[in-house]
Structures are given as C-alpha cells and as structure tokens.
Amino acid sequence: MVATDTSSSGAFDDLATILARLRGHPDTLPLESAAGTAKQVDVWRRFLGILEQRWAELAGTAPTQEELRRFCRILEIHRLDFTDTGIDRRRALSLLECAGATDGSFERLIQLGIAFAHERSWRLTHQLRAALDVPTESGVSTPNRPRGHVSFEWLRHRLDEAVEDLGPRYNRELTVKVPVGRVTAGFARLDAALSPLRVQLRQAHAALGRAAAKESGDQRLADLLTELADLRNSIDAPAGPGVLPVDSWRSRCSAMIESLRQIPNDPAIGSRESSKFRGTVDSCWDHLELAVRWLRGRIPQAWNDSVLLITGEQGRGKSHLLADTALSSIRDGQPAVLLLGQHFLHTSDPWTQAIANLRWPGTAEEFLTALNSLAKAAGRRALLMVDALNEGEGTTMWSTRLAGFLRQIRRFDWIGVVLTVRTIARDACVPDNVRENAVVVDHRGFADVEFDAVQEFFRHYKLTSPATPLLQREFREPLFLELFCRAAQQHSPLLTGAAPGLSAVLDTFLTTRDKVVSERLNIDPHDRVVVTACRELATAMLSLGRRWLSRQEAKQITERVWPTTGGFSRSLFLALLTERVLIQSFVGAREATPDAQPVQFAYERLADHVVATVLIDSTRHHGRYDHDELAQISAGLTAGDTTLDALTVLLPERVGIELIDLIHAVAPHTSSMLSDRVIASLPLRAPNAITATAAGLVEERLLSDDLQVARAAANVAVPLACLPGHRLDYRWLHATLTAMPMWRRDMT
C-alpha cells in the first residue's frame, strides 16, 4: 500500500501502527481491538471494509477473521509524500507509473494465483510471464538476463560506501588479528584456515615416523604410517570451495588413536619399555587428539555451514572484523557484500531496503543470482554480510523477517551469510530457529591478544607506555581502547594514574573534543559546546524514539547551541563530524537530498552514555534524584535496549544505587537478566562505584554450585582483584574464596 500525498499521512501512520501491533496481538481477541485509539478504530474499520469487499470480489467468498488477520500481519505500508521537488516525488511518480503500466497484468496474476492455490501447484517466474503475456522490454529482466551486473568493481564501490558509513568503527590502518578471525576465515573457505589441522597431522606423522624407525619390523606401525600419510595428503591438498569431509577425517583420526592405544600394551614389541619409544607414540597420540578436537571445533563447522552468526558485547570490534574481511576478500578475488544494520531504518521488507541501499536496479532474486554466478566463476564462496542487526530498526524488524531473509539466500550454493549482533540484543533480533541452523561464535574482542592490541594501538596513536599495566578487562574492548588512546592524546594524566572507568574515558573524550573544537571555532572552552550539543542531540533522539537524526535536524540543534558566524566551514555541526563525535550515513541512494541523510553518534557506546546521562539528569529535582521516576524510566526500556548497559555503570557512579535495586520493585521479573548486566559492568566502573549489592552478586555467583556461573564470575573478579584499593581487591577475593573447599576453588 502506498500513500502518495501528505493529506492522508496521519491515517497511514495510524494504519502502520496498528499493523505493527497486530503481529503480537493475541489471536483470541477480536481483530478490531488491535486499534488503540478512537481515531485508529475509525481508520482500521474503513480499511478492513475495503479489504473485505475487494477480497470477496476476487475470491468469490468473504474472508474469515483468521484470513484477514494472517493477511494483515504480512502487509507493508509505504508512504511516499508528494512534494514539489525532490527524491520522494520522483520515487512516488515512478512507483505510480509502474503500477499503472502493470495493473492489468497484476489483476490477471491475482486470478492465476488463486487458481494455483486451489490446485496446490506452483509456477516459475518465466512461466507466469508467459501466461500473462508480459512483454520483455529494455531494462526488464528475463530468466537468462537479469537486470544489473555484479562485478568486483561494483562490489568494491558498494563496499567503499559501507566503510565510509561505518566511520571510526573501522580503521584500515589499525588491525589486530583476533581469535574469531580464524572462524571467519574458515567460513570464507580460505585454504589457510586449515593450517592448524595440517600442523597437528604433520607433527603426528613425524612422531609416528620416529616410532616406526625404532620398530621397523612392526607392520601395524607401517600401516598406521601409510594411513596417516594418506590422510595428510588429502588434507594438504588445496581445499577448494566445497564442503570438507569432516566426519571422515575425524573418524580416520579416531581409528588411528584406537590403534595407537593398543601398541604400548602389546607384548610382541620387544623395545616397548623404552621411554623414548613410548614418548614418540604418546606424542603422535596427543597430536591426533588435538586434530580430532580441532575437527569438532567452530572452524570446520563454519566451513560447511551457510550462516555464521557472530555475537559480542558492544565495542568488541564486530564491525571492524566484517569490514576488514570484506576488503581483504575482494582484494583476493572473493566476492563480498557488506550491509549495515544502521541503514535498515524501517520495519518494511529487509530485501527491499537492502536492494535500495546497494542501488541495485533489479530484484533481490536477480541480485542473488548475479552474485552467485560471480562466485561460481571465481571459484570462491561469496560472503553476504549484515553487520549489527540490533541497529536501525533491527530489534523490531529482524525477529519476524530474518528467517525469510535467509531462506531466500539458502537456495544459492555459492553464497554464505555472516551476521553480527550485540549479545544483549541477540534474542530480540535472531529467532531460535535461525540460531539453531547457524554456527554461532562469540567475539571476545582482544581477549588472549591484549598485549599485542595495546602495543599496536599505542604505536598507532604515538603514545608512551602507561605508568601502570592495563590489567582491566575493558582494555580487551577495541572501542574502549581506541577512545582511551584518543583521549590520552589530549589528556596525558590518563597514562600516569590508575586506569579509569568507562564513564571517565567517555567524559574525557568529550572534554578533549571540546578543547579542540573551541580552539578551531574561537569559542570559550568553558562553554563546553561539544558536551552541550551531545546532550541536546541525545534529548532529540529520545523524543523521536530513534538513535539518529536527519542532517537537517542535527544542524538545527547544533545551530541553537552555537550559531554559525563564518559559513559552514566554521559551524559546530561540521566540527562534530570532523572530530568524529558524529558520523553521517549515506544510506543507500546517494541521490537523496543531503538534508535527509541520517546523522548519529560515531560510537554506539558513546550514544548510550550520553542518552543515559540525559535520562538520569531528567529525574534530578531540587538537588536530588527521584528514584521512583528513575525506576519507571528504566523499567520502560526493552531488554535489547543498550541504554540499560550504560545505566548499570552510571547509576552506581552518579546516584549510588544499582539498576537491579531500582527496578526490582517495579519489574521483579527482570532481576536475572539485570544481574548479568550488573556483573558485566563492574570492570567498566570507577573503582569507588562498587555497591554492596554488586559485591553480593559476585560473591553469590563465585560460590554457586553451577561451575559455569562460578567461572564467569571469576573471570570478572580476578582482574578486579589485581587493582590496589579496589573494593573487590585481592583481600576481598581471598576472604570470599576461603569459604569454598579447596577442590571447588581449583575447579573454578
């Protein structure tokens, strides 16, 4: 459905609201009750009346309530307002011309569809075109000639646009190899991804060769050596783009391990008592065990699957990983497409939005066909990557549309899909059936490569080594480390004292940007125009219910904070873009009017911090915070809202209360979910912001009978225990662990 003028915009907005609500509306309630206001009831009744009349004309029978409900749940609303000029008018005219030209064919298509439904049969697209006698015109696809052309040059242009829109989340000059990168290499079916397996088998073969040399007359060792050499040859050969025979390789390794198990106990071998012989057999055994473990791991699973889901907390570097993977893939002759979650700004069909963002002239089916053909010709799997499902309208859209989005891709053997999503928003964005049919890996940031990351970042930003080791877990977070380095360039005390918490780093970052912007625009630094502008922008985003503003909206707000006096080059808006406090997205059609382009905070965690600060400050009255008002605001946030993560840090620091204590009276059912977030926030807080509630949660989990829960708590508690003067320092940890028996401490 399309509204083509502003006079009916309100009605269409009401209708869109009702349809969105209908997806979660109980089937036991009347269909009419999906409308919430008297105005919506009127709009809804008129629409259902039109729908029932048209349905009866086409199908010959009136629709049931269940049929209407099912139909309306998949209906999409598009409003294209006519204006005197601009892209909206051109799109609306184009759509109307297209509809007018195909109206007759569409009516016949409806009749054919009804007939096929009664017959329980189906038809291919070209068969329908033939049945409808639709002529093939220039620019219209045919089964053998899709519109548009996918080439590596085209892919590179689209990728450059996506990387530009990522802004500071991707720095191609600053890349640290992370463990999850090995899984993405496996999913891309890169031959190098098999290196760990080949190393283990090579070492096993060498050890078995030494054992066979000591017992040259033993046929079983010779047979094992031949079998292992044959297995190595099959694995060392170029892997190619197909699936790996993982089960066969694993069973062959297991069979050789079982044969090795028998050798040391066989009295027929005279020198078996030799420790050197035992050592070589055991060494071969160990390497084969490691090979089996690798074959059960995520890399071969990813290789053989068609969907890879990467989860991870905010700021772990998921966007950087995908952008870097896409660039290296195209550079090496492997097709890759990167779609950004921030570009999905509507709850409508994701394929419609993706095709528009890519500026592809045809349909999604034609695009996938062309991409699949390019991958097949290159002999390399094509990577279709969607970054940050939780951004844009993702938490609303993907839960009901992701399965269908992937179903359309699965029919193409040469295309693999990589998805990333914030861990906290995973359940809101990714349905259970999608997770069950995908390889899921967690991006742990710079975990296990912290030293390399700190060295690389400090080298890139030309910083001297800090006075104290950066032991906190937050330095595993790429985003935190980048903000820390950028702030330290202007504020050296960050490097000379104890490592600060996240809020201090973000506030220092904004303060240093204030200093730079004030010097550039000749503004009194005490006016703090950057901080003020960020708060005003966040307030506007809150009122609009989204994490982005149009360029025009952002410019108007920054003009109110500091009016431009010397042209655009000396505007506060441009200064915020230049200093990467804000970024501008070019989302899809580059011919769109510049003032319609979305503007958002450069870092999602910075956005969360500023929004949470505004929310907290809005409850301060007469010098104190209203806890009841804070509780109502916090309880109104959805489980996938990342503002909650910022509140778990800021509330203890600024108000002296835990989020879990604040919300418990209003929404006690959220306690378990919030407990996880509170514990995860502890390394990000200022050392003096650890409340008794937080300490009690950590202690309770350390002493839990569930070893997995206890280990997760220990992963937070042990780094904090290394910080002198911290409430949860080594003395607190020692006192807590002494309550546990020694065997439990060792297992934890």
**What mean pLDDT do residues 336-355 have?**
90
Name residues whose C-beta falls within 8 Å of residue 400's C-beta, 6 or more positions apart in sequence: 23
- At residue 263, the pLDDT reads 76
Structure tokens at 277: 């012989």
CB 446 within 8 A of CB 421: no
The most distant pair of C-alpha atoms in the chain lies apart, rounded to whole Å, by: 97
Question: How do residues 537-593 score in pLDDT, each as one tens digit?
Answer: 999 998 888 888 988 999 999 999 999 887 888 899 989 988 888 887 654 433 445
Greater confidence, 338 or 216? 338
**What mean pLDDT do residues 503-532 have?**
90
Among residues 258, 268, 272, which one has the least CA distance to residue 214? Answer: 272
**What mean pLDDT do residues 594-609 have?**
80
pLDDT tier, 499 (very low <50, low <70, confident <90, very high otherwise):
low
Q: Is residue 103 predicted with pLDDT exceeding 90?
A: no
Greater confidence, 406 or 142? 406
> Among positive and negative, which fits the CA dihedral 43, 44, 50, 54?
positive
pLDDT tier, 380 (very low <50, low <70, confident <90, very high otherwise):
very high
**What mean pLDDT do residues 287-316 have?**
92
As beta bridge partners, residue 625 has 620
Could you tell me what percent of the chain has a pLDDT over 70? 82
- At residue 159, the pLDDT reads 92
- At residue 444, the pLDDT reads 87
Name residues whose C-beta falls within 8 Å of residue 396's C-beta, 6 or more positions apart in sequence: 20, 347
Name the strand (E) or helix (H) holding 422: strand 415-422
Q: Any idea which of 307-316, 452-461, 464-473 has the lowest mean pLDDT? A: 464-473
CB atoms within 10 A of CB 277: 19
Greater confidence, 278 or 444? 444
Q: How far apart are CA 693 and CA 701, in angstroms?
A: 12
CB 234 within 8 A of CB 250: no
* Cα-to-chain-centroid distance, residue 518: 35
CB 96 within 8 A of CB 4: yes
Mean pLDDT of the chain: 82
Q: How far apart are CA 382 and CA 376, in angstroms?
A: 9
Q: Is residue 536 predicted with pLDDT exceeding 90?
A: yes
Question: How do residues 208-242 score in pLDDT, each as one tens digit?
Answer: 888 888 766 678 888 899 999 999 998 988 777 78
pLDDT tier, 747 (very low <50, low <70, confident <90, very high otherwise):
low
pLDDT tier, 339 (very low <50, low <70, confident <90, very high otherwise):
very high
* Angle between the N-to-C axes of helices 246-262 and 275-295, in degrees from 0 to 180, rounded to the nearest 10: 160
- At residue 595, the pLDDT reads 61
Expressed in percent and rounded to 5, the helix, strand and coil fractions of the chain are 65, 5, 30
Q: Is residue 337 predicted with pLDDT exceeding 90?
A: yes
The HSE-up count of residue 420 (CA atoms within 13 Å, CB side) is 27
- At residue 1, the pLDDT reads 55
Among residues 310, 304, 307, 305, which one has the least CA distance to residue 341? Answer: 310
Question: How do residues 642-671 score in pLDDT, each as one tens digit?
Answer: 888 899 999 999 999 999 888 877 776 666
Q: Is residue 274 predicted with pLDDT exceeding 70?
A: no
Domains defined for the chain, CATH in brackets: 2-79 (no CATH), 87-132 (no CATH), 187-300 (1.20.120), 446-496 (no CATH), 500-618 (no CATH)
CB 358 within 8 A of CB 385: no
**What mean pLDDT do residues 47-71 have?**
85
- At residue 468, the pLDDT reads 57
As beta bridge partners, residue 438 has none
Question: How do residues 162-213 score in pLDDT, each as one tens digit?
Answer: 988 887 778 887 888 888 999 999 999 999 999 999 999 999 999 988 888 8
Question: How do residues 6-58 score in pLDDT, each as one tens digit?
Answer: 444 567 777 878 887 787 778 888 888 888 787 888 888 888 888 888 888 87
- At residue 256, the pLDDT reads 92
Q: Is residue 695 predicted with pLDDT exceeding 60?
A: yes
CB atoms within 10 A of CB 455: 12
Q: How far apart are CA 477 and CA 178, in angstroms?
A: 11
**What mean pLDDT do residues 500-511 have?**
86
DSSP labels, 593-607: -GGGSEEEESSHHHH
Q: Is residue 309 predicted with pLDDT exceeding 90?
A: yes
What global pTM score does this model have? 0.60
**What mean pLDDT do residues 420-442 have?**
91
Greater confidence, 24 or 391? 391
